[in-house]
Chain A
C-alpha cells in the first residue's frame, strides 16, 4: 500500500482501531447473551430428562422435549372433528352441538369487551391529565395518579377477575370490572403519553385569556389528542375481546367457561369448535377496528 497522505494514514490506523473495538464489543455481548439464554433455558426445564416406556417394554431416559413432541400432534389430532362429505350437515351439527349456548356466550364476550373498554376510556381519560408531566397541577398528584394507573395495569385482568368473582359472584359483571380496571391502567398510560407530546402553545393562549386548568385542558389539549385517543382505544378494544374470551376460566363470564368445561371433561372436538369461534371473532374485530382506525387517521392526517 502506498502512502497517500499523512491524514489518510492516520485515518487507516484509527479505522482499524475502531473496527477492533467494535469486534471485541460484539463478541463479548454475543457470549453474554448466549450464556444468559442457556441458563434461563436450564432453569425453565428445557434440558430435563424423562422416563418413557418403549413399545418393547423397555424403559429408557429421554430428552423431555423429544419425548413430548409427538403428544402435541396427538392432542391436535384428538381435537379434529370427524367430517364426512356425505353427511357434512350432520357432522357439522355434531361438532357445533352447543351452538345456541356458544352464540349467547359469544355475544356476552363481545359485550364484556365493549363495556370494559367504555369503563377504561372514562377512567383513563380523566386520570391521564393529572398523570401527564406537563399538565399535572403538582408533583404529588402526578405521582399519585401514575402509581394508581401502574397498579391497575400491573395486576393481570385474570387476577382482578378472581377478586371480583369473589366479591360479586360468577358472571359477566366481574369480567367487565376486571377488564375495565386493567384497561384503565393501560389506556391511562397511553393517553398521558399523548398528552405529554402535545404542543403547549395553545394551552398558553387559553391561560393568557383567563382560562382555568380545566379550560386549558379542554381547549388546549383535548382537540390535539382526540385522534390518538380514538386510535389507542380501538387497539385496546381488540385486546379486550381476546381477554374477555378467556376470562370465563375463573367464572367471570363469556366463552372462557365453556373452554374450561371442555378441557376438564376432555371434550376435544368442543375445544376446536370454541377455538374456531374465538379465532373468527377476533379476526373480524381486528379488521373492523383497523378499518375505522385508518379512516380516522386518514381524516385527520395524523398517525398514532
Chain B
C-alpha cells in the first residue's frame, strides 16, 4: 500500500501540489488526469523523489519514503521505476546498455564507471527487451529508434530495475496512436502479469477509462475526483477540465489516441493484393 498524506509542493509563489492524500493498494492501475499544470507530473516526481515535497509524507508498506537519504534513496528510486514523456534515454548509447543502466543502483562504483555490467544484468536486460519485442534493436543506438520503440526501451529499463511501483509521466503524449496503444498495452500487461502498482499520468480521458482501474483527477494541485472510470460522469469531467470559455461538452473522441475511434473500420489494404 502506497500512502500519500497531505503532500504539497510549492515553487516560489506557485503551489504545484496542494495537500494531496491518496492510498493506493498494491497492484492497482491508477490513471492521473487533469489539465496541463494541474500538478500531475510534480506528484509523480515526488513519489520517485526526483522532486522533494515541501510538506507531507509518503509511506510505502509502512516505510517512510520522504525522509530517505543516500543509498536508501537511490534504492527506493530503483524500486519505483519512472517513465518520462521524452523517454530520457541516453541517445548516443546502444539500447542494451540503456536497459542495463536500470541495474545501476545495484552496480558497484568501479563496474559502473567502466561500463562492465554483470552477465546476470545482461541476461535480465535482454529478457526485458524480448518481452517488449526489441531484441533485434538491442545493439542499435537508442537515438536511432522511433519514439514508440524508445518508450518501450524505457519500459524495459524500468522492468530490469525490478520495481514494485511503476510511475509513467505522460508516457504516450509524444507518440502516434498505434505506438501509444502498444505502450499502454505493455503497461497494462506489466500491471496484470507482474502485479506491479502502476501510476500513469494521462492527457486523454478515454485512454484512462480504457486502461485504468481507478482514476484520480487533479485541478490546481488538488484531487477533485477519485474513483472508478464509471463514476467519472460528464459533469465531473467538466468540473475538472472546464473553464468559463468551455461551455460545450467535452468530446473525448477529439483528444482520443485510441485507434478504433480514429481510423476507419476497414483495414488498409495495399493496392494489387
Closest to A221 in B: B90
What's the Cα separation between A214 and B113 when bound, in Å? 8
- Tier of interface size on chain B: 20 to 34
A205-B89, A224-B92 known; A218 vs B112 contact (CB < 8 Å): yes
B38 CB-CB contact with A under 8 Å: no
Q: A215-B112, A224-B92 are in contact. Are A206 and B104 (CB under 8 A)?
A: yes
Chain A proximity of B196: nearest CB distance (Å): 16
The winner among A202, A208, A212 for most chain B CB atoms within 10 A is: A208
The 8 Å CB contact of B84, one of A201, A218, A219, A220, is: A201
Contact bitstring B172-206, A, C-beta under 8 A = 1, else 0: 00000000000000000000000000000000000
Q: Is A211 an interface residue (CB 8 A)?
A: yes
What is the minimal beta-carbon distance from B73 to any residue of chain A, in angstroms? Answer: 8
B104 and A209 within 8 A (CB): yes
A203-232 at interface with B (beta carbon < 8 Å) = 204-212, 214-215, 218-220, 223-224, 226
Is the CB–CB distance between B77 and A209 below 8 Å? yes
Q: Which residue of A lies closest to B90 (CB)?
A: A202
A215–B104 CB distance below 8 A = yes
Q: Among B74, B86, B93, B161, point to the contact of A223 (Cβ < 8 A).
A: B93
Majority SS of interface residues in chain A?
helix
Find the residue from A206, A207, A210, A212 having the highest chain B CB count within 10 A.
Answer: A210
Query: How many residues of chain A are within 8 Å of chain B by beta carbon?
Result: 19
Given contacts A201-B84, A209-B101, A209-B105, contact A219 B90 (CB under 8 A): yes
Contact of B81 among A209, A215, A224 (CB under 8 A): A209
Q: How far is the CB of B95 from chain A (nearest CB, A)?
A: 13
- Taking the closest CB of chain A, its distance from the CB of B194, in whole angstroms, is 17
Q: Do B105 and A211 touch across chains, with their CB atoms under 8 A apart?
A: yes
A-side residues, CB < 8 A to B, are: 201-202, 204-212, 214-215, 218-220, 223-224, 226
Query: Can you name 19 A-B pairs with beta carbons within 8 Å?
Result: A201-B84, A202-B89, A204-B84, A205-B87, A205-B89, A205-B90, A205-B154, A208-B77, A209-B82, A209-B101, A209-B105, A210-B74, A210-B76, A210-B105, A211-B101, A218-B112, A219-B93, A220-B90, A223-B90
